[in-house]
Amino acid sequence: MIPIRDTVESRNYPVVNHLIIAVNVGVYFIQLAQGAKIDHFVFLYGLVPARYSDPFLAHYFTPGQQLFSFLSFMFVHGDIWHILFNMWSLHIFGDNVEDRLGPVRYVFFYLLCGWVSGLSHLVVNWHSQVPTVGASGAIAGVMGAYFILYPGARILTMIPILIFPFFVELPAFFFLGLWFFFQLVSAAGAPVREGGVAWWAHIGGFVFGILCLKLFIRVPETGITRAVRSRTARKKTPHLQAIHATGLSGDPNLYGEIVITSEEASGGARKLINMPWAFQKRLLRVTVPPGVREGTILRLEGMGREMPGTGRGDLLLKVHIQDRSRPGLLTWHDFRSNSSINRGRRVF
């Protein structure tokens, strides 16, 4: 399963999450520049359990190097696919966790999850001489926090079936729960001391992320966090939005909701909406005219259901102006008392 995106938009730009990604990419380029010395680089900055369990091997490293490896191993990666998948997962899940914790608490939470994941691997593979590298353990902690914070979010997931990609939206609790189950199964079948994926680092990071989240939430926000939030608040909602339209039996019209900010309501906006229907998805372009108000209805003609004798109905989108919170679900009854209707544009 490959996650493509989630349906929860962060209220603020994730500056720390982007910075962590940038540092990982920068370290990877430094790693590539090592050339023939890359194995020495990985052994020095990766987490090698035998460096702590074998006194003879530990003699070759200073106390500072031994401590620094618990930090540096999170930013070293095995190959291009390793770092790409890790950074993509961090991009999807990290922005929302940072949005909830704030930049200061998030950076400490991320690093602490990575440290605990490394400790988990160290305990289980105490005598291994194979370096452990990668941000997977820290990202697993972020995923554990996401599991608690946004269990009802939808994760657009690509599932390869033979040579054909199959896309499906899965609830976050199911996607992450299944991911964690695979880590447990893989860890149970993996031989100790041999190279490969550090399954126990993933497990330790995920569990710690769940357990430690409540503690971090209780820590008061700092003045730095409030200052950063005021400067990084998003002025626009996503250009592409997923619309889950609803309708009553016998009614050819479909009903959904489009979310914009107050700035977009004042100046107008253009959005793309992705509307799943039956076994297909329709991509529509919607123009939100300037000056719309909360509850305004945008009518997309001919985008409803085909009904015998009445022809095809319309898609009615209710405008929801929202700056700082996640959009909610909309039902057909929300339209009955609103008579303000505009016409949106559409394209396939």
Contact 130, 205 (CB under 8 A): no
Contact 51, 61 (CB under 8 A): yes
Q: Give the CATH H-level superfamily of domain 240-343.
A: Urease metallochaperone UreE, N-terminal domain (2.60.260.20)
Q: Sketch the domain layout of the chain as residue ranges.
A: 2-232, 240-343
Tokens of 63: 């106390």
**Residue 73 DSSP label:** G
Cα separation of 327 and 330, whole Å?
9
Q: Count other C-beta atoms under 10 Å from residue 336's C-beta.
A: 8
Q: Give the CATH H-level superfamily of domain 2-232.
A: Rhomboid-like (1.20.1540.10)
Of 116, 110, 108, nearest in space to 94 by CA: 110
Of 20, 189, 31, nearest in space to 113 by CA: 20
Shared fold status for 2-232 and 240-343: no
Per-residue CA distances from 35 to 30, 39, 84 (Å):
10, 9, 20
Regions in the chain scoring below 70 on pLDDT:
190-197, 276-281, 323-348
Tokens of 318: 């209710």
Cα separation of 200 and 124, whole Å?
7
Q: Which H or E element spans position 254?
A: strand 254-260
Tokens of 272: 């793309």
- Which three-class secondary structure state does DSSP give residue 289? coil
**pLDDT value for 328:** 38
Dihedrals phi, psi of 118, to nearest 5 degrees: -65, -40
130-169 pLDDT, tens per residue? 999 999 999 999 999 999 999 999 898 888 887 778 888 8
Q: In sequence order, what E strands does 162-196 have?
A: 164-171
What's the residue count for the chain?
A: 348
- pTM value is 0.76
Cα separation of 200 and 206, whole Å?
10
241 pairs with which residues across the strands?
Answer: 273
